[in-house]
Structure 1
Amino acid sequence: MELLWKDHMRVQVIRLVCAVLLVTLLSSEVAESRKVKTVGTSFKYEAINCRTHSASLTDFGGVGDGKTSNTKAFQSAISHLSQYASKGGAQLYVPAGKWLTGSFSLISHFTLYLNKDAVLLASQDISEWPAIEPLPSYGRGRDAPAGRYTSLIFGTNLTDVIVTGGNGTIDGQGAFWWQKFHKKKLKYTRPYLIELMFSDQIQISNLTLLNSPSWNLHPVYSSNIIIKGLTIIAPVPSPNTDGINPDSCTNTRIEDCYIVSGDDCVAVKSGWDEYGIKFGWPTKQLVIRRLTCISPQSAAIALGSEMSGGIQDVRAEDITAIHTESGVRIKTAVGRGGYVKDIYVKRMTMHTMKWVFWMTGNYGSHADSHYDPKALPEINGINYRDVVADNVTMAARLEGISNDPFTGICIANVTIGMAAKAKKQPWTCTDIEGITSGVTPKPCNSLPDQGPEKIKACDFPQGNLPIDMLELKKCAYIMKHA
């Protein structure tokens, strides 16, 4: 009996302690509730900068029912938060729900954060897509000679801008635009999902991008860019749904992205023909790593075809391509001018490919008839190593330009398994110069084997690019609404 009594008292003491703790916790919550009526969602994420001020889209009349337009709610929220740009910056939180919206513009020192269950739905009301001028390095729209529809999420002349989330979704509802494109009923070029121009310190991360009207992500004339953890998906037949297109950008890092696309997964650009030559703004210091690509009609990584401002110092590593037309493709033509040089690719794994390596000097799409036929591109210093591929139709198609050969090509430590119905001639080479080492099947005569002692040819540069030195900060917020 004494033992039972002691056990009973022990239970009562534990209950009393728990009750005291509960009362303490409740009293602290009551005290907190006197300050803030509602405590919202808390979340953590990594970013180039954290923010001092935050608000929810619902504070500005946002309705996440998938039917109500939220264009004005986004515009009002961002306009209100602009007052904090010089006071620690601001963040706009998009809660779970389906948020229909037309185009809206971002501001400096700003973060747009999408909840993991938030879906931005692109409006199909064309009046919610303002038209803007063509890009100066292109001279015209890509779909039509006139201007272009503003991208869903747009910004220009910004500093320190972030679009991120808990893998929230941006759905471009692109079928609406694809049909108009195929029927040639577009007055302007289709919008992109995200485009940032003339901006510095950009982060786009941890999002799912679906069904873009055209290109998914287009940083242009910008610098110091981190693109990380994106899932990008569009139907294979969809027109021009490139995944990520760094365009006349400096110091860019693309990593840990998965892309299924109707066009190139990553397309590196720098302007079109005489307009790109005149603008003269290259893409340089670009890192691409841990990319997985599926694109049966296009390339895992394309350089060009709009490369008239130049492309230099691109470093790609740990690339996986599955059922993709080509691994790395260089696209250029007479009239492009510019250059593609100092390109380094290593550790590529490919399954079911049409071509592993493809260089095209006759990609003849021109902005107009005013291009200079004497503007010949320079293709030099193209390095590939440590590549494994299987079920390949043709190892390489390398076609330079007559009287303008592609030079400095280096391919080392490459094993290509040919498909059962592969081409009888695995390599086609015209107007190219370079070397190989340890490549199977045997390359063309323009790429003589230098022997095993040259296996370290085509190595990456030793030093890091500046963007690799940038570390993300750990940001944490508790969304509170008075």
Structure 2
Amino acid sequence: MFSWRKGIVAITGIVVAYLFFGAQVYAQATVKFPDKIFDVTKYAVSGTVGTASIQKAIDECTAAGGGTVVVPKGKYQIGPLIMKSNVRLELKKDATLVAINDVTAFTSTPETSQYAANGWVAFINARKASNMAIVGDGVIDGQGAFWWERYKQEQIVSGGRSGTNRPRLIYFTEVANVLFDGITLKNSMSFHLVTKRSSDITINNIQIDAPVDSPNTDGIDPMSTRNVLITNCTISCGDDHIAIKADGIDNAHPNASIENIRVTGCTFLAGRGLSIGSESLGGVVNVHAENNVFRGCMYGIRIKSPRGKGGEVRQVTYINNTMTDVETCFVFSGYYTGIPDDPVEAKKILDAGGFILGNQIYPNDADPAQPYVEKRTPYFHDITITNITCTGQNTNAGFVMGLPEKFLENIIFTNVKIQSQKGMLIRNATVTNKGLVITVREGAPFILQKNGVVK
């Protein structure tokens, strides 16, 4: 459990910890469980612990008012599980939950549709539950290779238009007061850990590991979730290390769909960065990232959304982070469009002065303004980047690109040192330089395109 305890108060039987940083307050719930043990081996059928055995232990635990479901050392090949309120699932050292390679088991049914996303249930699911934890030194293995190959074949047949079309590893929706601590997540079918429309989530000291070429294997995705602490995690994956997303307008929270996210002390290895987006629809506010390390990543820090899926992103702070050998250190962009399937169309954009970065294509700076739509047009402002070093074989210092219909504003770099092959491209945006030093191996440190300003 956590050692920090600052400003602890009791509220309706739940202990809530408030972390104070500057003027901002980050509330994180602290889970509490009765001292009752439910050992899954006691529920074995013919000596085998299967899906039904573990699910029965979870069900009896919640029915008894809560406690700890213990998974001892061993390898357990199972199908999807449903977590319940007041359950602490503890994976002992050398305990591994392994997802079975069975498409039918993960296909949504009328009975499981409430837990599903895009027609799939996850390996571990929860909905409308609270006071839960998944902890310990064990492993949750999605056996993703089976699903990645299936997805690649679908992409070939569909011409690259099949969508993600796979289960998540952990998918919790409409939950509150949840802790993930110490576990290892590996080889997810797609995203590893997703919380959606939830609150008071703490993710501490977990390891996430998937091959760099594994498709859509995001590490941690808080979606339209409030009050999230992510700390001391190590992530290596095939997509965003962390993707903070607002996937829709939330009438209950008109200020922002996702709010109060703190990421600290994490190490990001192979993967595509600490990101906000691509969905920012409904708004993102109050994100703080501090004392994180980026090594050998494709991207470092990103805020990215396309027209129609974007919104207002504000009050975002990055402080005391370090990057080494990162392909592109910073991306703040109101453009986020995939490369067209038609090579003729892609060539037309490139011949007109556009460019490709990763899997996205960007138009030239003559791109015409489109109507501004509040809560749907990407608009990023009040972003502060302080005390950051980017050293080693970095390729691009960064891209700061607003839309012609809505510029990026108040992007402040303070005491930031970047070594890179190429400089920072700025378009439809104003960057405030308070000690941003870019040392390039070719070209100029600042590449100012239309409406690009450094002051």
TM-score by length of 1: 0.72
1:59-138 alignment, distance < 5 Å = 59-61=42-44, 70-85=50-65, 89-131=66-108
Q: Paired residue for 1:344?
A: 317
Does residue 49 (structure 1) correspond to residue 22 (structure 2)? The answer is no
1:208-223 alignment, distance < 5 Å = 208-223=184-199
Structure whose alpha-carbon radius of gyration is higher: 1
Residues 65-110 of structure 1, C-alpha deviations (whole Å, 9 max, x = no match)? xxx671111222122222222xxx2210000000111101011011
Does residue 437 (structure 1) correspond to residue 434 (structure 2)? The answer is yes
Over aligned residues, Cα RMSD in angstroms? Answer: 2.6
Q: 1:316 to 1:132 in 2, by over 3 A?
A: farther
Q: 1:436 to 1:229 in 2, by over 3 A?
A: same
Q: Paired residue for 2:380?
A: 379
Q: 1:447 to 1:346 in 2, by over 3 A?
A: farther
Does residue 319 (structure 1) correspond to residue 292 (structure 2)? The answer is yes
1:408 offset after TM fit, Å?
Answer: 1.2
For the 8 Å contact 2:267–2:293, the answer to whether it is kept is: yes
Match of 1:149 among 120, 126, 135: 120
Q: 1:77 to 1:159 in 2, by over 3 A?
A: same
Q: What secondary structure sits across from 1:236 in the alignment?
A: coil
Match of 1:405 among 399, 404, 407: 407
In structure 1, how many angstroms separate the alpha carbons of the residues matched to 2:332 and 2:165?
A: 27
1:130 offset after TM fit, Å?
Answer: 3.9
Residues 279-318 of structure 1, C-alpha deviations (whole Å, 9 max, x = no match)? 966110000001111125x22x110001112111000001
In structure 2, how many angstroms separate the alpha carbons of the residues matched to 1:400 and 1:63?
A: 62
Question: Would you say how many aligned residue pairs link Structure 1 and Structure 2?
Answer: 372
In structure 2, how many angstroms separate the alpha carbons of the residues matched to 1:225 and 1:410?
A: 29
Q: Paired residue for 1:454?
A: none
For the 8 Å contact 2:387–2:415, the answer to whether it is kept is: yes
In structure 1, how many angstroms separate the alpha carbons of the residues matched to 2:427 and 2:46?
A: 59
In structure 2, how many angstroms separate the alpha carbons of the residues matched to 1:360 and 1:78?
A: 44
For the 8 Å contact 1:51–1:110, the answer to whether it is kept is: no
Residues 114-170 of structure 1, C-alpha deviations (whole Å, 9 max, x = no match)? 00110000111223224169xx9xxx96xxxxx3311111100011010101x2101
In structure 2, how many angstroms separate the alpha carbons of the residues matched to 1:408 and 1:373?
A: 19
For the 8 Å contact 2:164–2:216, the answer to whether it is kept is: no
Q: Which runs of 5+ in 1 are unaligned?
A: 1-46, 142-146, 366-371, 450-482
Match of 1:183 among 142, 148, 153: 153
For the 8 Å contact 1:320–1:348, the answer to whether it is kept is: yes
Does residue 289 (structure 1) correspond to residue 289 (structure 2)? The answer is no
Structure showing greater relative contact order (alpha-carbon pairs closer than 8 Å, 6 or more residues apart): 1
Farther-moved stretch of structure 1 (156-165 vs 188-197): 188-197
Q: Paired residue for 1:248?
A: 224
Q: 1:394 to 1:62 in 2, by over 3 A?
A: farther
Residues 409-464 of structure 1, C-alpha deviations (whole Å, 9 max, x = no match)? 0111011122xxx13xx111100123111111254564535xxxxxxxxxxxxxxx
Does residue 197 (structure 1) correspond to residue 173 (structure 2)? The answer is yes
Give the letter aligned to residue 407 of structure 1: E
For the 8 Å contact 1:277–1:338, the answer to whether it is kept is: no
Residues 19-59 of structure 1, C-alpha deviations (whole Å, 9 max, x = no match)? xxxxxxxxxxxxxxxxxxxxxxxxxxxx7213221111111
For the 8 Å contact 2:278–2:310, the answer to whether it is kept is: no
Give the letter aligned to residue 57 of structure 1: V
Q: What secondary structure sits across from 2:246 in the alignment?
A: coil
For the 8 Å contact 1:332–1:377, the answer to whether it is kept is: yes
In structure 2, how many angstroms separate the alpha carbons of the residues matched to 1:90 and 1:69?
A: 19
Match of 1:168 among 138, 154, 159: 138
Runs of 4+ in structure 1 off by over 4 angstroms are: 185-188, 275-281, 442-447
Q: What secondary structure sits across from 1:245 in the alignment?
A: strand
Q: What secondary structure sits across from 1:246 in the alignment?
A: strand
Give the letter aligned to residue 177 of structure 1: W
For the 8 Å contact 1:277–1:308, the answer to whether it is kept is: no
In structure 1, how many angstroms separate the alpha carbons of the residues matched to 2:298 and 2:225?
A: 26
Q: 1:94 to 1:69 in 2, by over 3 A?
A: closer
Residues 230-259 of structure 1, C-alpha deviations (whole Å, 9 max, x = no match)? 010000000000000011111110000000
For the 8 Å contact 1:197–1:220, the answer to whether it is kept is: yes
Q: What secondary structure sits across from 2:184 in the alignment?
A: strand
Q: 1:80 to 1:284 in 2, by over 3 A?
A: same
In structure 1, how many angstroms separate the alpha carbons of the residues matched to 2:385 and 2:163?
A: 42
For the 8 Å contact 1:231–1:259, the answer to whether it is kept is: yes
Q: Which runs of 5+ in 2 are unaligned?
A: 1-29, 156-161, 339-370, 439-444
Q: Paired residue for 1:228?
A: 204
In structure 2, how many angstroms separate the alpha carbons of the residues matched to 1:283 and 1:205?
A: 22
For the 8 Å contact 1:220–1:249, the answer to whether it is kept is: yes
1:187 offset after TM fit, Å?
Answer: 9.8
Residues 302-344 of structure 1, C-alpha deviations (whole Å, 9 max, x = no match)? 1000111211100000111111122111111211242111100
Question: What percent of counterpart residues are identical?
Answer: 28
Match of 2:242 among 263, 266, 273: 266
Match of 1:448 among 429, 448, 454: 454
1:353 offset after TM fit, Å?
Answer: 1.4
Q: 1:386 to 1:63 in 2, by over 3 A?
A: farther
In structure 2, how many angstroms separate the alpha carbons of the residues matched to 1:407 and 1:270?
A: 20
Give the letter aligned to residue 412 of structure 2: C
In structure 2, how many angstroms separate the alpha carbons of the residues matched to 1:188 and 1:317?
A: 31
Q: What secondary structure sits across from 1:269 in the alignment?
A: strand
In structure 2, how many angstroms separate the alpha carbons of the residues matched to 1:196 and 1:393?
A: 37
